[in-house]
Amino acid sequence: MKLRFWISIIFLLSITAACGSKDVNELSAVNQHGKEVSVPQAYAGEYWVADFIFTNCETVCPPMTGNMSRLQAQLEQENLDVQLVSVSVDPENDTPEELLSFAENYQPNYEQWDFLTGYSFQEVKEWSIKSFQSPVKKMEDSNQVAHGTSFFLVDPDGNIAETYSGTKAESVAKIVEDLKKYKSES
């Protein structure tokens, strides 16, 4: 009985420690133009917003990417220089060319918005879980990938400052509001 108790305590402590970790780990990727991008170093010193998508998604990715597009427009309107980063969870299919074709439907400003691929599925799965506590899983007998639907606001030090629903349009205004507050404090 005591052994099971201590195993449970150790297990809970390890989960708590993992959840408390907010540092975004390193990921080597390429963007929609085939340019190498090292995350989070490429965005160090600035606020940035990340999400997870894939191009043949039949459910949440189109509305999430639409919200990211609205966020980009709001950021430009408010004169906030914030990088947007959409990370593919289907890198075997999402080549830079596929991402570029997908992205065009959302009128991105590529100076401000990267669509990333160029790593293995296992790498992005581990990175998503370790950095964002956001699980990724290939669906059996399907070409779909289950993934989190959050937008993550990452601070200049590479820590997750806030998490928002990527499927809710009202998140866009909240992100802009939070960015104004954070940038005025720094």
Binding positions: 57, 61, 147
Q: Which residue has the tokens 């299919």?
A: 93
Run of H or E residues at 106: none
The amino acid that residue 99 corresponds to is L
Phi and psi, residue 170, nearest 5°: -65, -15
With H, G, I as helix, E, B as strand and everything else as coil, classify residue 19: helix
Q: State the greatest distance between any 2 C-alpha atoms of the chain, in Å, as a whole number.
A: 61
Run of H or E residues at 62: helix 61-77
Binding site members for Cu cation: 57, 61, 147
The strand pairing partners of 114, in sequence order, are 85
Q: Are strands 150-154 and 145-147 parallel, antiparallel or unpaired?
A: unpaired
